[in-house]
Structure 1
Amino acid sequence: MVEPRTWSLARAAMIILLLPRGLEQCGHIRLSAPIARLGDPITASCIIGQNCSHLVPDSEILWKLGAELQPGERQQRLPDGSLESTITLPHLNHTRAFLFCCLYWNNRLQILDQAELQAGYPPTPPHNLSCLMDLKSNNLICQWEPGPDTHLPTSFTLKSFKSRGNCQTQEAPILDCVPEAGQSRCSIPRKHLHLYQTMGIWVQADNVLGTNQSQKLCLDPMDVAKLEPPTLWALDPSSEAAPPPPNCLRLRWELWEPGQFIDQKCELRYQPQHGEASWALAAPLLPRTFQHELCGLLPATAYTLQMRCIRWPLPGHWSDWSPSLELSTAELAPVVKMDTWWRQRQLDPRTVDVQLFWKPVPLEEDSGQIQGYVVSWSPSGQAEAVLCNTSELSCAFRLPPEARQLALVAYNRAGASRPTPVAFSESRGPPLAGLHALGQDPHSLWVGWETPSPQPQGYVIEWGLGPPSPSNSNKTWRIEHNGSITGTLLRENIRPFQLYEITVTPLYQDTVGPSQLIYAYSQEKDPSLAPELHLKHIGKTWAQLEWVPEAPELGKSPFTHYTIFWTNAQDQSFSTVLNASARGFVLHDLEPASLYHVHLMATSRIRATNSTGLTLMTLALEESELHILLGLFSLLLLLICLCGAARLCCGPRKKNPLWPSVPDPAHSSLGSWMPSIMAEETFQLPSLRDPSMPPIAKITVLEEEEKKPGPWESSDSSGTCGLPTLVQPYVLQGDSRAASTQLQPQSSPSNQVLYGKVLGSPTGSGPGHYFRCDSTQPLLGGLSPSPKSYENLWFPNSPLGATEAPSSSQEDDCAFGPLLDFPLLQGLQVHGVEELEGF
């Protein structure tokens, strides 16, 4: 048995013999093509030689493309004993990649061989081939565009040959021109060219996948000649020639010396040095002329000029633009009119201090630049006297007493403008009807006015910083020549958050109107604080308030109005609005000894700002005033009571009292129960034949004041049993139609019982009359039951409405019994019968 130490040594020796380098020499890769078209398939095979196969007889050959394993197609043993594996890549999508043949050995993937794969495209035909003959270097320079990238090394060759006519025949080849690496242009030296002879030119592109050519050019090298640009010069003025007009420039040029024998034409372009104007081409220049006058330019302006030339009339290429030439046009006398304005101050009766302002208004597009202004006047018979010569737009001087009109001119080195007359008009025109101003934005102000009558010819608007800036300092002004306008927007010299003083003056024919002044902020800030509210005086029903507004702050909106709010202890709110000039206010109609909360709100054009709140208590009434008020209240209450009592006492008695007046039965008599009829009362009694007349359950006898004895003892047709006059009215006055009909008692015990009053006279011969009473009071209860609804004075055994008279034995009962048994009279001891007998 082999010892472990001996086995380890043998294993180490085998590893040393089978190093990876020895394995790499065993395999070899063969490719169908090392360079393929991008996307095309490619085939490879890996062969392990016979000398290495005995080491790995059963091993599998693996493939890797880059870092990815690829499955092989087949693996076989060749007749010579070597082992072969084949792989086909259907689409080679890598422009460059490495293919590895591998084998697992000692649990590791070992590379046996590798091969580089390349893929790309065949070259496309080069295009846009163009050539020009550089006469300065005498080389024919051609350039082209190579086309898309092939991903493979591609070479370009400029090929040419000499020919005649239209290059259909090739006479002699010209040496090929190979450009530098990465270049797409190539030059053919002059020594290989034949000028004024045609030649054919093309470009050929080559790589491993193919060859392609561009279209052929057939040209004469001189037909593509490019000249050098000319040289520009300013034309020197001569004493004989007149100077150029102010808007013109004169120049000359010299052609490139080697090309002077070539006929050519040139182009001239120009542009102002200052500004953003683009280049402008001059009119076509005549051939073989070497000077030109360029007109239509701005006076007193510097211009940049350039020129280029081309072979003419034969074909050729334009030269590059020449180096720039800078020239300036001459000045033009100013062509302007003047807008003028002035301010005057009378120093003494013969001396007037005048400050004159003016603004030049160009009358033409090219009016010429202005160097200065002259203000003068012409005394009669004397030379012109200059009052002011300045480059500013204003001038101050003392006006001579005899001067009524001045002249103002603008001048430069080319001359002076036409004089503008300045007349000092008196202020006798009508003023503006109204003036207002408003800040539109941080850098503009809108000023408006109402047109006076008659309409002015124009307006002068002046504006500048308001107080605390000095008056008339740095003021800006302008004239509006349209007299029908009612406002204008001021944008010049306007800064945000500034107070401006604006003056508008109407202009009339030969006179002016008085100036109107207004202040406005260009942009206003919020007011910082509202005025603080103070209590000045207070009373029982009033309170006097006051406040002191802050001084106007620069750039802050002034207050337009104030609003005072006050609230009482019951949260009832009141308010009032005051204008901005108010400095105090009195609260009226307050309650004595009451608490009020007051605050002030100040409002501007920007927003409203609240002041601090104020709490106040009105004064209480004094003790004497309370006594007076209580006394007056007591007198009023007493007067109301007296009036009510007088009405109750003096007014007529009501017919239906709220409750019946029932006397004490123990101290009453039947006579005292009988109320006397009022003389002034007149009753309208219903007809006794009224079918709707209900039966009467209560009869009240109304006595007349004067009672005369009459034949009441005699019997009448009504069948009253010969009752005395007092008792007779108690006889039932029933319905005559019910005499023959026995009435049935009503089933409902809750029926109401009606009462009535009987009007009768003991002296009258006719029957008594009655009328219903409004009362529905039920009959009083007593020892005997109350009569039924169909009963009145008779007992239940007496039928209702009996028409026969009672017997003589019942006469006394007929007279007095029913009275004693009447429910209202039960339990009473009736007195006064003797009084009845006296009748």
Structure 2
Amino acid sequence: MMALRTCYLAGAALLTLLLPRSLEGCGHISLSASTVRLGDPVTASCTISQNCSHLHPESLILWKLGTELQPGGRQQRRPDGSQESVITLPHLNHTWAFLSCCLQWGSSLQILDQAELRAGYPPATPHNLSCLMNLTTDSLICQWEPGPETHLPTNFSLKSFKSRGDCRTQEDTIMECVPEHAHSSCSIPRKHLQLYQNMSIWVQAENALGTSVSSQLCLEPMDVVKPEPPTLWAMHSNPKQSSPQPGCLHFHWEPWKPSNFLRQKCELRHQPQLKEANWTLMLRQETPEPEMVSLRSTNLLYELCGLLPATTYALQMRCTRWPLPGHWSEWSPSLKLRTIQGILKVRLDTWLQQRKLDPRTVEVQLFWKPTLLDEDSGPIEAYLVSWRPSGQTEAALPLCNTTELGCTFHLPPGDGEVTLVAYNTGWISQPTPVSFSEHRGPALARLHAVGQDPHSLWVGWEFPSLQPQAYVIAWGSSDPSFSSSNKTWKMEQNGSLTGTLLRENIRPFQLYEIAVTALYQAAMGPSQHIYAYSQETAPSCAPELQLKRIGRTWAQLEWVPEPPELGKSPLTHYTIFWTNTQHQYFYTTLNASAHTFVLHDLEPSSLYHIHLMAASQAGATNSTSLTLMTLALGESEIYILLGLSGILVLLICLCRTAWVCCSPSRKNPLWPSVPDPAHSSLGSWVPTVTAEESFQLPSLLDPGLPSITKITVLEEEEKKPRPWESSGDSEICGLPALVQAYVLQGDPRTASTQSQSLSSTSDKVFYGQVLGSPTGPGPGHYLRCDSTQPLLEDLTPSPKSYENVWFKNSPLGSPGSPPPDQEDNCAFGPLLDFPLLQGIRVHGVEELGAF
């Protein structure tokens, strides 16, 4: 605040120096009050003299509070020619600021005059006035609390006067005391005081807004005496004096010398130097008030008991005038003392193992087991093993300082002795000697062990030739990584025992090494060892799967069987589990002798998770998971599969086409289906004739018969005999009409020769010979040959005029009927409309009606 005020003052002085000479003394500010209560209104006026002739008559006066323009100024011209501007600030919220009267000068504001404004509060009433008589400075020191901040310069003064009685009458006025800046205390020298006479004291606070006075304090200087704290001293050891007991401290203290003429009472407190420990004030048993010690001498001894043994304590003391009123002195500087250790009542059972490393060094493993005999001494925190060489009286050398129940150290060979002690923060046990005797006693005989249950082992033995005094039984895991210092052991003090039950730290399925040692008087027998386990366990781990080879749909796995372990059941089988990405689960069980397996029927380019489980009669153990991905199909293989598929489809299409083309029911599907007379079974439906009607008909299927090479159309002339009717007329007419149509013309014996000559001379093959006239009223007759030439050669297999002469003469829409004489003479019933189909009949005449 002071720095800000100084900065503003420097700025105002600088502005004054920079004012133009023509504006000096032109303006003046008048305030209603320069100091007001914070938040009250302030009225100010600025008058511009008429001597400022260079100013414009209508110049505008502006106001600034600090750096901010303030609106609301009222400007007027007075009768004497001067100009005046009045402004009222409704709320002054600045504790300190400058109010400026300005004119517009060019492009900037020109300050004509400034006034300092202050705002704050009247001083509060000082309170908590207290005084004490300091015998060191020989003055009365008074202090008070000034109250809240006023934001205004406030002056404090300590006023007092001498008085008698209850300070209602004033006798001599004491010079007032003005404290130093920003202090709320003041001292009255001894020369202005009467130590045993009352005086009235008060504090007055004053600032620009008012004055306040504290309540008066009536006191006698000696009633407010505050002595200096006493001094504590540690006692020097004296051989004639008995040493303090554990948990006790002896010290002496000396009061402050200038207060020797005063009768005082003192308080003592102590604090253990432990984490989060508090001070403890000594109390008397018969009263809750602190213990009081009357001082009549200059040197006092004090014994403080009931403390923790072997613990450092901090001691402090303070005193006050007693029984008259007075103030407590400050606490004296701390005196730190440590209590002695107590005797820890504990029995330590020990045993050791030693091994010679080289001719100069022996490795000793010392083990111990404590038995606490007194619970008041607290728990044991650590153990200390020390060694003193034989024949020497110097201090023992520490070997181990540990919290464990055993340690390992090295010593030179020969007879020696180490001592073992247990201790905590305040107690220490009596030293327990441990000797390294080379004397050996007889060993135990017939050591045996058997598992009673999964958590106990029974160990038995037979008496040696000399009965031992005690036995030491030690057991632990047979694992080589298991430290021997972590073995469990116990001591049997009864030398007549022949066995003991081990229950501590026995777990099922764990192999243990057990050692039993017999202890004799000043001798120790050799340790006897035996291995045993209480129960078998499952395999500790399963073999790790390895991928040997892999394909697209298969994977070959292998593993190395784990070696057999003691206390572990032999393996009975393996189980392989594998899972694909669709969470389909597969497994297979293998013999315990297997060490490889091939997974089949896998998907190409697929991910599989596989693990192996090794099982025995005691349980099963899983191996770590193996993840693999099968191979994908190659580009060439894809092309091969596509080619094979195409070939297969082509073969199917060709076979289908061949079947369609070669099927009898689908022959010549693109043109009308015309039966092939060459493959008809005409003979199967020729009716049976009587003996008198039998005739010799050449076999139509005889290959020796001549084929019909042409079709000759014979027209009947009226009443003209035919050449062929005279020779064989009776014989032919006796045949049915259908059979007559197939009688070959000419000599059968010469037919073959004739057909050969015709076939050789012409490419045309004639199907048959038609008998009859195309223009006659009756139907014609034809003779059929054995030709297999297709009947229709063109794309329009319509009947020729000579092929169906009788069909043309039939009524439209119905087939023609044969003549009556034909119906009577033929045994095959009615013929079909189409002459070439008349000879096709398979099963008889009854089916002709279906055409």
Calculate the TM-score normalised by the size of structure 1.
0.51
Distance 2:243 2:151 in 1: 68
1:475 maps to which residue? 486
Secondary structure of the corresponding residue to residue 258 of structure 1: helix
Per the alignment, residue 202 of structure 1 pairs with: 202
Q: CA deviation at 1:365?
A: 4.4
Aligned residues: 530
Q: Which amino acid aligns with 1:129?
A: L
Looking at structure 2, the residues matched to 292 and 314 of structure 1 have their Cα atoms a distance apart, in angstroms, of 25
Give the letter aligned to residue 175 of structure 1.
M
Query: Deviation string for 1:610-644 (max 9, x for gaps)?
Result: 1656889xxxxxxxxxxxxxxxxxxxxxxxxxxxx
Which of 367, 375, 391 is matched with 1:364 structurally?
375
The equivalent of 2:114 in structure 1 is 114
Give, as a single letter, the amino acid of the residue that structure 2 aligns with 1:296. Answer: G
Structure 1 residues 339, 142: CA separation in 2 closer, same or farther (over 3 Å shift)? farther
Question: Would you say 1:51 and 2:51 are equivalent positions?
Answer: yes
What is the Cα deviation at residue 204 of structure 1?
A: 1.2
Counterparts of 1:445-484 in structure 2 under 5 Å? 450=455, 467=480, 469=481, 472-475=483-486
1:533 corresponds to: 547
Check conservation: 1:231, 1:255, Cα contact below 8 A: yes
**Are 2:562 and 1:547 aligned?**
no
Partner of 1:293: 303
Per-residue CA deviations over 1:40-84 (Å, capped at 9, x if unaligned) read: 011111112232268432223222222222234433332323222
Q: 2:513 and 2:221 mapped to 1: Cα distance?
A: 78
Structure 2 match to 1:314: 324
Q: Which amino acid aligns with 1:547?
A: W
Do 1:337 and 1:420's aligned partners in 2 also have CA atoms closer than 8 Å?
no
What residue number does 2:807 align with?
A: none
Query: Is 2:620 aligned against 1:609?
Result: no
Structure-2 change in CA distance of 1:300 and 1:596 (3 Å) = closer
C-alpha distance after superposition, 1:318-367 (max 9, x if no partner): 2122222222222322212446677799xxxxxxx996511446533436
Q: CA contact under 8 A between 1:73 and 1:86: conserved in structure 2?
A: yes
What is the Cα deviation at residue 220 of structure 1? Answer: 1.7
Partner of 1:762: none
Aligned partners of 1:396, 1:104: CA distance in 2, in Å? 99
Cα distance 1:484–1:519, how it changes in 2: closer, same or farther (>3 A)? closer
The 3-state SS of whatever aligns with 1:118 is strand
Q: Distance in 2 between matches of 1:119 and 1:164?
A: 43
Matched-pair contact (CA < 8 Å) for 1:532–1:612 = no
| 2:32 counterpart of 1:32 | yes
Provide the C-alpha distance between the structure 1 equivalents of 2:490 and 2:244, rounded to a whole number of angstroms.
Answer: 38
Match 1:330 to one of 328, 340, 349: 340
Where 2:222 maps in the other structure, the secondary structure is helix
Deviates more, 1:149-158 or 1:270-279: 270-279
> How many Å separate the matches in 1 of 2:572 and 2:325?
83
In structure 2, relative to structure 1, the CA distance for the partners of 1:177 and 1:587 (3 Å cut) is same
Aligned positions of 1:511-530 closer than 5 A: 516=533, 530=544
| Aligned counterparts of 1:595 and 1:107: Cα–Cα separation in 2 | 87
Tell me, in whole angstroms, the C-alpha distance in 2 between the residues paired with 1:394 and 1:295: 36
Report matched runs for 1:143-158 at 5 Å.
143-158=143-158
Conservation of the 8 A alpha-carbon contact between 1:464 and 1:475 = no
Matches within 5 A, 1:651-800: none
Q: Aligned-pair distance for 1:237?
A: 5.4
Alignment-mate amino acid for residue 301 of structure 1: T
CA distance in 1, matches of 2:420, 2:106: 111
CA–CA separation in structure 2 for the residues paired with 1:31 and 1:342: 103
CA offsets 1:80-133 (integer angstroms, 9 cap, x no match): 232222111111111111112222345653322221111111111122222221
Distance 1:543 1:198, change over 3 A: closer
Counterpart-to-counterpart distance in 1, 2:58 and 2:608: 112
Q: Does structure 1 retain, via aligned residues, the 8 Å contact 2:132–2:327?
A: yes
Letter of the 1:431 counterpart: G
* 1:280 partnered with 2:280: yes
- Contact (CA 8 Å) 2:456, 2:534: kept in 1 or not? no
Q: Which residue of 2 aligns with 1:714?
A: none
User: What's 1:305 paired with?
Assistant: 315
Q: Secondary structure at the match of 1:22?
A: helix
Aligned partner of residue 50 in structure 1, secondary structure: coil
Would the alpha carbon gap of residues 29 and 532 (structure 1) be closer, same or farther in structure 2, given more than 3 Å must change?
same
1:488–1:177 CA distance, 2 compared to 1 (3 A): farther
Distance in 2 (alpha carbons) for counterparts of 1:275 and 1:21: 77
* 8 Å contact from structure 1 (residues 122, 211) kept in 2: yes
* Separation in structure 1 between the aligned mates of residue 107 and residue 158 of structure 2, nearest angstrom: 58
Q: How does 1:139-178 map to 2 (within 5 A)?
A: 139-178=139-178
For residues 8-49 of structure 1, the C-alpha deviation after alignment (integer angstroms, 9 at most, x for no partner) is xxxxxxxxxx98332242111111111111110111111122
Q: Gapped runs of 5+ residues in structure 2?
A: 1-17, 284-289, 356-362, 388-396, 410-416, 436-440, 460-471, 493-500, 520-527, 565-570, 615-620, 633-683, 689-843
In structure 2, relative to structure 1, the CA distance for the partners of 1:162 and 1:666 (3 Å cut) is farther
Deviation, 1:545, is 5.5
Verify the 8 A CA contact 1:530 1:611 in the aligned structure 2: no
Deviations 1:758-777 (A, max 9, x none): xxxxxxxxxxxxxxxxxxxx
Q: CA deviation at 1:153?
A: 0.9
3-state DSSP of counterpart to 1:57: coil
Alpha-carbon shift at residue 162 of structure 1 (Å)? 1.4
Task: Give the drift of 1:255.
Answer: 0.8
- Could you say which residue in structure 2 is the equivalent of 1:575? 587
CA RMSD of aligned residues (A): 6.0
**SS at 1:51's partner residue?**
coil
Question: Taking every aligned residue pair, what percent have the same amino acid on both sides?
Answer: 50
Deviates more, 1:356-365 or 1:80-89: 356-365
Partner in structure 2 of residue 650 of structure 1: none
Match of 1:75 in 2: 75
Distance 1:23 1:287, change over 3 A: same
CA distance in 2, matches of 1:117, 1:575: 98
| CA distance in structure 2 between the aligned counterparts of 1:826 and 1:113, rounded to whole angstroms | 154
Aligned in 2, Cα 1:77/1:228: closer, same or farther, shift over 3 Å?
A: same
2:453 equivalent in structure 1: 433
Structure 1 residues 235 and 543, CA gap change in structure 2 (3 angstroms): closer
- From the superposition, tell whether residues 461 and 322 of structure 1 become closer, same or farther in structure 2 (CA, over 3 Å): farther
In structure 2, the CA distance between the partners of 1:65 and 1:567, relative to structure 1 (3 Å rule), is closer
The one-letter code of the counterpart of 1:609 is S
Deviation at 1:472, TM superposition (A): 3.5
Q: What SS does the corresponding residue of 1:431 show, helix, strand or coil?
A: strand
What residue number does 1:676 align with?
A: none
Give the direction of change, closer, same or farther, for the CA distance of 1:598–1:81 in structure 2 (3 Å limit): closer
Larger mean CA deviation between 146-155 and 280-289 belongs to 280-289
> Counterpart of 1:181 in 2: which secondary structure?
coil
C-alpha change, 1:258 and 1:113, in structure 2 (3 Å) is same
Indicate conservation of the 8 Å contact 1:462/1:478, yes or no: yes
CA distance in 1, matches of 2:60, 2:536: 104
TM-score of the two chains, using structure 2 as the length reference? 0.51
The separation in 1 between residues aligned to 2:302 and 2:184, in whole angstroms, is 41
Aligned mates of 2:478, 2:37 — CA distance in 1 = 83
Q: What letter corresponds to residue 532 of structure 1 in structure 2?
A: Q
The equivalences for 1:389-400 within 5 A come to 394=406
SS in 1 for 2:375: coil
Q: Any gaps of 5 or more consecutive residues in structure 1?
A: 1-17, 346-352, 376-387, 398-405, 435-449, 490-500, 553-558, 617-663, 669-824, 829-839
User: What's the counterpart of residue 267 of structure 1?
Assistant: 267
2:438 paired residue number: none
Q: Structure 1 residues 172 and 583, CA, compared in 2 at 3 Å: closer, same or farther?
A: farther
Q: CA deviation at 1:194?
A: 1.0
Tell me, yes or no, if the aligned pair for 1:533 and 1:614 is still in contact at 8 Å: no
SS of equivalent to 2:151: coil
